[in-house]
Amino acid sequence: MPLEDASLSSPPQSDVSPPWVERQIRDGICTLWLNRPLQYNVLSEGMLDALDAAFRDVAADPGIRCVVLAARGKAFSAGHDLREMRAQYRLDYYRRLFARCSATMQTLMALPVPVIARVQGIATAAGCQLVASCDLAVASESARFAVSGIRVGLFCATPAVALSRNVGTKRAFDMLSTGRFVDAATAEDWGLVNRAVPDEQLDEAVAFYTTQLCARSPAALRRGKAMFYRQRQMPLQEAYAFAAEAMAHNMMEADAAEGIDAFFEQRSPVWGQPNGGSRR
């Protein structure tokens, strides 16, 4: 079966042992690996549980500077587990499942540190939604993206929320109504991913972002990420007032004082100094 058809199949029932999500933390970078490669890393209830637990741990760890969301195997994620869904033919179950998945996506977006999707293979339906919910995304040139539920009679309504906040209206509806795959170069052009790179350069491209993020003020990034997503939902005048207040408070933080002093003194800033604002 072609890999692009994986999201429309029933995944094998046997797979690697737990953990569903592997965690690696090094130098402030937390890499979360979706770890059900034989199941194309479908977002089953077990996978959602594992992601929720991993996100809680990230939010509680002040030493984490950024997150890389990656996946084992040939697919990033083929979306919801159709076998699991078909076995629970009840409206109340589907309501709970889609609300639960939506909550997981919102938890991801609300993490206090930037999250980078490292995409290889396919990212379909809720798997594409997962990419769209990350702050940044890097894809290998062989990656493919789709919201392909329409091919089995299911419009990808919840993935549409994240997708339509990344790409333009007509492009989003194109993907949602046809279920067609777009390649990584198209995903980059449309704004679904930041960069599409040769497969062998994927880790290097991810490292570019982790290096950049880890060199910046953790306090500024945490405040800035929260501000960025909140202001997007506001009318223009309200957004500017909210952003101005956030920036004023940011200026009062030690990291801002340290960063500005370091700029004038032509040296590298040292973030996290409690008395950074006491020099002036």
Segments making up each domain of the chain, as ranges: 3-214, 218-279
The tokens describing 260, both together, are 């500005």
Q: Of 105, 185, 114, which Cα lies nearest the Cα of 145?
A: 185
| Contacts for 68 with CB less than 8 Å, ≥ 6 apart | 29, 30, 31, 32, 115, 116, 118, 206, 210
pLDDT of residue 271: 94
DSSP lists the bridge partners of residue 70 as: 33
For 195, phi then psi, to 5°, come to -145, 140
Q: Are 156 and 212 in contact (CB under 8 A)?
A: no
Give, in words, the CATH class of 3-214. Answer: alpha beta
Q: What span, in angstroms and rounded, lies between the C-alpha atoms of 224 and 113?
A: 10
pLDDT of residue 276: 55
Tens place of pLDDT for every residue, the chain, 280 residues? 445 555 554 445 445 467 999 999 999 999 999 999 999 999 999 999 999 999 999 999 999 999 999 999 999 999 999 999 999 999 999 999 999 999 999 999 999 999 999 999 999 999 999 999 999 999 999 999 999 999 999 999 999 999 999 999 999 999 999 999 999 999 999 999 999 999 999 999 999 999 999 999 999 999 999 999 999 999 999 999 999 999 999 999 999 999 999 999 999 999 987 765 444 4
Number of C-alpha atoms within 13 angstroms, CB side, residue 45? 9
| Contacts for 84 with CB less than 8 Å, ≥ 6 apart | 44, 45
Q: Of 197, 198, 192, 154, which Cα lies nearest the Cα of 7?
A: 154
pLDDT of residue 161: 96
For 63-75, give one letter per residue: b (16+ CB within 10 A) or e. Answer: ebbbbbbbbbbeb
pLDDT of residue 10: 47
pLDDT of residue 275: 62
pTM: 0.91
Q: Are 72 and 41 in contact (CB under 8 A)?
A: yes
Greatest CA separation for the chain: 66
pLDDT of residue 273: 79
DSSP 199: G
CATH assignment of 218-279, among 1.10.12.10, 3.90.226.10, 1.25.40.10, 3.30.9.10: 1.10.12.10
Q: Are 191 and 224 in contact (CB under 8 A)?
A: no
Question: Cis bond leading into 19, ω under 30°?
Answer: yes
